[in-house]
Amino acid sequence: MYYIFGTLPPALIIGFSIAFILNKKWFKGAGFLTAIYFIPFVMSMVGVAYIWRWMWDPASGLVNWLLSIFGIHGPKWLSTPGLALLCIFFISIWKNIGFCIVLYASAMKSLPSAYLEAAEIDGTNEWQKIRYIILPLVLPTTIFLTIVSSIDAFKVFDQVYALTSGGPNNTTRIVAYYVWQVGFADMRMGYSSAIATILLIIMLILTYLQWKYYTSRIQYLD
């Protein structure tokens, strides 16, 4: 749950904000930037994780080297309990933002222009257009991203395995990694299968609750 709330809302908010800016008529090169943002999403998570592992290396990493230029002594990113989980959050957000941008940008391009033109005639500002027109109309896209991202969050394994192996002090031992650890490292297959089954039930319940909530919102808007 920490992982879901630490990655899903930031990815949706940042992805929507960038897509909104790229969708502006005055913005040039929107297609090129969208493609650039989408590249991390199609890259292998293991490869991405090892690249960031090198960048966060306390002795020779790029991040601490940049901090040292400003006289800041960089921490041990992946060895500090609080920072290690934030690093995993950051990688997941950075990698999935492109997916959110592409879907939100496509949804915004398909919006009826009459609504936005009528809002401009009525003198609404940008925030009012976002809140009362754009956000309700792209709600189906938000539903899809929320459900898919929530399901994907329960399956997080690659970045944990490559970066921290569940450490330090099990602070990054997310459920999917724990299932693998119990089943294939400790060879307790029965217990691992039980955890996976309960995880499936939790995913089904959360998906159903999300679907009911969002569909009721759509019916309310209609």
* pLDDT at site 28: 83
Q: What's the CATH number where 169 sits?
A: 1.10.3720.10
* pLDDT at site 125: 85
Full residue range of the structural domain in which residue 56 is found:
2-221
The answer on pLDDT for 26 being more than 90 is no
Give the total number of structural domains in the chain.
Answer: 1
Q: What CA–CA distance (Å, rounded) separates 28 from 82? A: 40
Torsion of CA 8, 171, 45, 104, to 10 degrees: 10
The answer on pLDDT for 180 being more than 80 is yes
Q: For residues 158-164, give the mean pLDDT.
A: 91
Q: For residues 10-20, give the mean pLDDT.
A: 94
pLDDT in tens, 106-136: 999 888 888 888 888 888 888 888 888 899 8
Torsion of CA 148, 4, 35, 40, to 10 degrees: -110
* pLDDT at site 188: 94
pLDDT in tens, 187-219: 999 999 999 999 999 989 988 998 888 777 765
Enter the pTM of the model: 0.88
